[in-house]
Amino acid sequence: MSELMIVLCTCPDEETALRLSSGLVEAELVACVNILPAVRSIYRWQGSIQNDAELLLIAKTVASQFGNVERWLAEHHPYDVPEVVGLPAGGVSGAYMHWVEDSVSQENRH
């Protein structure tokens, strides 16, 4: 059985969040993406403090696909440096993990 990886990625607006989420699922890189609205991000960028409203993507995939998800997001995301954070799940039900494995492409897994 594979290890479940949860990938976090922030987006500037709903259109981008929908485009990226759909693209990841269509490319069979992730099984599912949840879109959480109303995230407030405070961060330093190019020497100044930013305070932006964003949306948060929570994508579920197998750990072996993380590099492919990261590359896909780097290519399709509008940010110069998109947030792409992979977190291994501490536990996951067997049935859900099987669904994730079945939903993610077997090709290009490392």
Tell me the domain boundaries of the chain.
4-103
Q: Distance between CA atoms of 102 and 74, rounded to whole angstroms?
A: 25
Residue 19 in tokens: 């485009």
Q: Which CATH class is domain 4-103?
A: alpha beta
Q: Residues 42-73: pLDDT tens digits?
A: 999 999 999 999 999 999 999 999 999 999 99
Around 14, how many Cα atoms within 13 Å sit in the side-chain half-sphere?
Answer: 2
SS3 at position 21? helix
Segment (H or E) for 22 = helix 14-26
Q: Is the pLDDT of residue 109 over 80?
A: no
With a threshold of 0.85, does the pTM exceed it? yes
Kindly report the backbone phi and psi dihedral angles of residue 59, in degrees, each rounded to the nearest multiple of 5, phi listed first. Answer: -105, 145
Q: What is the pLDDT of residue 78?
A: 97
Kindly report the backbone phi and psi dihedral angles of residue 17, in degrees, each rounded to the nearest multiple of 5, phi listed first. Answer: -60, -45
Burial class (CB in 10 A: 0-12, 13-18, 19+), 63: middle
